[in-house]
């Protein structure tokens, strides 16, 4: 169980670099997405069959993968760029378009 949870959290091994650079360029996005999907599916299956040995490690893995994906939303992919979250919150233009 411990090795399974540690495997899901492995991409967070370089979290110091991510925080120092304020960019997620060192995190592998495909692996984070795969961890999120796989651990989420096994976590839900563990709940359906009520098996502690499926719920515990995959629940931890699901939380870690969710945290990793949140880093991709909050921080930019490369240093000096804008984060996707800040782009989504950018206010729309206040201009009024009039039809002739």
Over the stretch 15-51, which tens digit does the pLDDT of each residue have? Answer: 888 888 888 888 889 999 999 999 999 999 999 999 9
Assign 82 to helix, strand or coil. coil
**Model confidence pLDDT, tens digit, residues 54-78:** 999 999 999 999 999 999 998 888 8
Q: How many CB atoms lie within 10 A of CB 48?
A: 9
Sequence-ordered list of residues with C-beta below 8 angstroms from that of 68, at least 6 positions apart, any chain = 11, 12, 27, 32, 35, 36
| Cα separation, 56 vs 59, whole angstroms | 5
The H-assigned helical ranges of the chain are: 2-8, 15-21, 29-49, 52-74, 84-88
Classify burial at 24, counting beta carbons within 10 Å of its beta carbon; exposed 0-12, middle 13-18, buried 19 or more: buried
Taken in order of first residue, the domains within the chain and their CATH numbers are 2-88 (1.20.1280)
pTM of the predicted structure, to 2 decimals: 0.75
Residue of higher predicted confidence among 88 and 54: 54
What backbone torsions phi and psi does residue 68 show, to the nearest 5 degrees?
-65, -45
């Amino acid at each position: 169980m411990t090795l399974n949870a540690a495997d899901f959290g492995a991409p967070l091994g370089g979290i110091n670099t991510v925080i120092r650079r304020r960019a997620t360029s060192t995190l592998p996005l495909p692996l984070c997405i795969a961890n999120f999907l796989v651990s989420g599916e096994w976590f839900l299956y563990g709940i359906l069959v009520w098996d502690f040995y499926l719920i515990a490690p995959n629940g931890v893995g699901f939380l870690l993968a969710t945290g990793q994906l949140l880093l991709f939303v909050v921080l930019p992919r490369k240093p000096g760029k804008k984060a996707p979250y800040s782009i989504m919150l950018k206010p729309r233009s206040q201009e009024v378009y009039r039809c002739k």
